[in-house]
Amino acid sequence: MPAAIETAHEPRLKGDKFKVVIVGAGLGGLAAAMAMHYAGYEVIVYEKIKKFLRLGDSLGVGENALRLLERWGAADKLRKIGNKSPVMHVRRWDTGEIIATQRLMDMAGYIGHRGDYHNAFFERVEELGVPIHMGTAVRSFDENSPSVTLESGEVVECDIVIGADGIKSMCREVVLGFEDKPLSSGYACYRAYTDGSTIRDDPTSGILVNRDQMNIWIGADVHIVQNTCRDGQDFNWIITHKDDADIPESWSQPGDVNDAVSLVSHWDPTIVNAMKLTPSCLDWKIVYREPLPTWVSKSGKVVLLGDSAHPHLPTSAQGASQAVEDGATLAICLELAGKDNVRLASLVYERLRYSRVLKTQKTGEDTRRRWHGALRDMGAGKKIDPEQVKMQNEWIYDLDAEADTRARFHEVAAQIQAELEANNDVPVLPMSLLGPDKFDVPQISDQRRREVAEIARQMYEDWEASGPKVYKGRERPDLQSDASAVPPIKGHVASSHNVVVSA
Ligand SMILES: Cc1cc2nc3c(=O)[nH]c(=O)nc-3n(C[C@H](O)[C@H](O)[C@H](O)COP(=O)(O)OP(=O)(O)OC[C@H]3O[C@@H](n4cnc5c(N)ncnc54)[C@H](O)[C@@H]3O)c2cc1C
C-alpha cells in the first residue's frame, strides 16, 4: 500500500465504528469514499467492472469540487491533467470569429480527460487504504437491515449504503420503489478524443493543437465544443445536435465521423477539417430524466449520489463536481447527526443538496438553449450580446459544500424532525418545498459581469502574448473583431443528418 499523502487533514472521528458501503467506483463513488474516509468511517467500495479503461472524453472539474478534493489530498494530481488555457471562446459557426471570451474557471473549471481524472481519484482512494473490490457487482440491496448482496451471494452488512451506481442505477429502484425510465432529450452528441498529432500538420486545423485551448462554435440548433489538453498532445471535439433516435443511453456506442461532419460541412473549416481527420467517434444519445422525488430510501439507510440521483447535461459541466459535493455533504451530515441517526442525516443531505443540484442541472439546458438560439432568426445588422452566449456558471463555484453543511445542518435537521413528527414519520419531499423559481438559473449582477469580462479580456491578452499566435502563417481572429454584428443566417437549418445553408 503506498504511503498516504500528508496534504490533507486527518480522519475526524477516529475509532468510530460506522460502516459505509459504496456501490460504484465512478468519480462520484470514489469522491464519497474520500469524504467518508476523512470523516473517520470504515468504507468499502464495490465496482462491477473488472478493470477500468480510459473511457469517455473531456469532463470539467470545477473549483467547487477541487476545493474539497484539495482537503482530501487529490487536487495536485488533478490540476496537472486539466486544460491550461485561462479562457475559452464562443465563435461564429461560419467564420469562426470570436463572439465572446470567458474565463474557463467561470464556465467549466479544469477540463481534462475523464479517464485521467478517474485514474487520479482511484489512486487517491487506494492511497488512503480504502478497499475497492473490482469485478464485484452488487446484485441486490436491503434497506431495512442495511446491506448489499454481491453476485457471489455474499451479504455485506453496514450502517449505510451509498448507491453511486450511475445513470442506469439499480439502487434508484430500491429508493424510489419503481423504475425511473429515461426520456429522449431530443439531442445527441458525437464525441471524439484523439491524439493532437492527427491534425498537427494540417494547414487549416493544426492551429487548434499548437497549445491548450477551448473553443465553442455556435449555430442554429447545433454547437461544437473543442478542447485541447496537455499542450496540444490531446484533441477533443463534441458536436451536439438534434436527434430523436430511440437508442439506449450508452457511453460506448460507436458513431460515424462522416455523419458528424455532414451536420456542419459548411461551418468554419478550422474545426470541420479537424473533424474530418479524426479516425473515430462515439454517438451518445442524451436522455432526460425528471428530477427524482427523493434520493433517500424509506429507512434512510440507502441513499443515491451522483448520476444515479441527478445526471447532468454536458453543457452544465457539473456532473462530476456535483457528485463530489454530494459526498462531502453526506459525510458531514452523518458526522453531525451521529451514528444512531442515519435517517435524519440522509434526509438533511437530500434537503441541503436538492435545490442546488436542480439549478446546476438547469444551467445545462439554459446554456444549450442560448447557444443554439443566439444566431438564429437574427435581423441583418443586429448585434448579439456576448453575455448571452456565455455559460452562466459563476454562481456555482464559490460554495464550500463542507462549510455550508456545517453551517446549515442543525437548522435543517430541526425542521425535518418537526415535519416528521407532524406527518406521522413520513418525510416531506424536497421538490414540494421549493418555490416558483425552482428551475431558474441564478444570475450574477451586471457589475460583476463587467468585472469578469474585463478579467477574461486581460487573461486572453496575456495568454496570447505568452505563446505562439500564428501557426503556419495563419492567425486566428482575435478579440478585436466585431463578430457580434451578425448577418442573418438565411436558410440555416440543421436536422440530425442534414444541414442546409443557402446564401
Ligand atoms: C464510461 C463513462 C464515460 C463517461 N464519459 C463522460 C464524458 O466524456 N464526459 C462527461 O462529462 N461525463 C462522462 N461520464 C459521466 C461522468 O463520469 C459522470 O457524470 C460523473 O463522473 C458522476 O459519475 P458517477 O460516479 O455518479 O457515475 P458513473 O461514472 O456512471 O459511475 C458509476 C459506477 O457504478 C458502477 N456500477 C453500476 N452498477 C453497479 C453494481 N450493481 N455493482 C457495482 N458497481 C456498479 C459502474 O460500473 C460505474 O463504474 C462518463 C461516465 C461513464 C460511466
Q: Which of 360, 326, 361, 349 is nearest to 408 (CA)?
A: 349
Nearest atom in ligand 1 to 323's CA: 22
What is the 3-state secondary structure of 286-343?
EEECCCCCCCECCCCCEEECHHHCCCCCHHHCCHHHHHHHHHHHHHHHHHHHCCCCHH
What's the pLDDT score for residue 7?
52
Cα(251) to ligand 1 centroid in Å equals 9
Atom 22 (ligand 1) nearest CA? 320
Cα(26) to ligand 1 centroid in Å equals 5
Cβ burial of 464 (10 Å; 0-12, 13-18, 19+) is: middle
To test the pocket of ligand 1, the residue of 174, 251, 253, 321 to mutate (highest count of ligand atoms within 8 Å of its CB) is: 251
Cα(476) to ligand 1 centroid in Å equals 37
Cα(80) to ligand 1 centroid in Å equals 22
> Is the shortest distance between the CB of 116 and ligand 1 below 6 Å?
no
- Between the two ends of the chain, the Cα-to-Cα distance in Å is 65
Atom 6 (ligand 1) nearest CA? 56
Calculate the alpha carbon distances from 176 to 327, 355, 437 in Å.
20, 19, 25
Cα(24) to ligand 1 centroid in Å equals 8
Cα(475) to ligand 1 centroid in Å equals 39
Measured between alpha carbons, how far is 215 from 90 in angstroms, rounded to an integer?
6
> Is the shortest distance between the CB of 163 and ligand 1 below 6 Å?
no
Is 366 within 8 Å of 388 (Cβ atoms)? Answer: no
> Is the shortest distance between the CB of 320 and ligand 1 below 6 Å?
yes
> Is the shortest distance between the CB of 306 and ligand 1 below 6 Å?
yes
Calculate the alpha carbon distances from 156 to 130, 149, 354 in Å.
16, 6, 29
Q: Which residues make Cβ contacts (< 8 Å) with residue 288, sequence separation at least 6?
A: 182, 183, 184, 185
Atom 27 (ligand 1) nearest CA? 166
Q: Which residues make Cβ contacts (< 8 Å) with residue 11, sequence separation at least 6?
A: 37, 38, 39, 40
Bridging pattern class, strands 42-46 and 132-133: parallel
Is 68 within 8 Å of 33 (Cβ atoms)? Answer: no
Is 195 within 8 Å of 71 (Cβ atoms)? Answer: no
To test the pocket of ligand 1, the residue of 30, 48, 121, 140 to mutate (highest count of ligand atoms within 8 Å of its CB) is: 48
Measured between alpha carbons, how far is 4 from 348 in angstroms, rounded to an integer?
31
Domain boundaries, the chain: 19-85+112-181+292-364+400-433
Q: What is the DSSP string of 255-298?
A: E-HHHHHHTSTTS-HHHHHHHHH---EEEEEEEE-PPPS-SB-T
Residue ranges of alpha helices (H) inside 374-466 are 401-422, 446-465
Nearest atom in ligand 1 to 30's CA: 25
Q: Which residues make Cβ contacts (< 8 Å) with residue 353, sequence separation at least 6?
A: 295, 325, 326, 329
> Is the shortest distance between the CB of 314 and ligand 1 below 6 Å?
yes
Cα(99) to ligand 1 centroid in Å equals 34
Cα(81) to ligand 1 centroid in Å equals 19
> Is the shortest distance between the CB of 28 and ligand 1 below 6 Å?
yes
| Spacing of C-alpha 115 from chain mean position | 13
Measured between alpha carbons, how far is 138 from 165 in angstroms, rounded to an integer?
10
Mean pLDDT by 10 residues, the chain (503 residues): 50 78 98 96 97 88 94 90 90 89 83 94 96 98 96 97 96 92 86 94 92 92 93 94 78 92 95 96 87 96 97 89 98 94 98 96 87 69 79 89 98 98 94 87 84 86 77 53 43 30 25
Residue 405 grid cell:
453543511
Cα(28) to ligand 1 centroid in Å equals 8
In sequence order, the β-bridge partners of residue 222 are 219
> Is the shortest distance between the CB of 60 and ligand 1 below 6 Å?
no
Measured between alpha carbons, how far is 193 from 169 in angstroms, rounded to an integer?
26
> Is the shortest distance between the CB of 148 and ligand 1 below 6 Å?
no
Is 125 within 8 Å of 52 (Cβ atoms)? Answer: no
What's the pLDDT score for residue 6?
42
Is 329 within 8 Å of 352 (Cβ atoms)? Answer: yes
Residue 69 grid cell:
478534493
Would the CA dihedral through 438, 443, 444, 445 be positive or negative? Answer: negative
Amino acid type, 77: K
> Is the shortest distance between the CB of 29 and ligand 1 below 6 Å?
yes
Cα(383) to ligand 1 centroid in Å equals 41
What's the pLDDT score for residue 491?
34
> Is the shortest distance between the CB of 54 and ligand 1 below 6 Å?
no
Rounded CA Rg of the chain: 23
Place of cell 500538420: 201
What's the pLDDT score for residue 499?
26
For 19-85+112-181+292-364+400-433, which CATH superfamily applies?
A: FAD/NAD(P)-binding domain (3.50.50.60)
Cα(27) to ligand 1 centroid in Å equals 7
Measured between alpha carbons, how far is 66 from 470 in angstroms, rounded to an integer?
34
> Is the shortest distance between the CB of 439 and ligand 1 below 6 Å?
no
> Is the shortest distance between the CB of 319 and ligand 1 below 6 Å?
yes
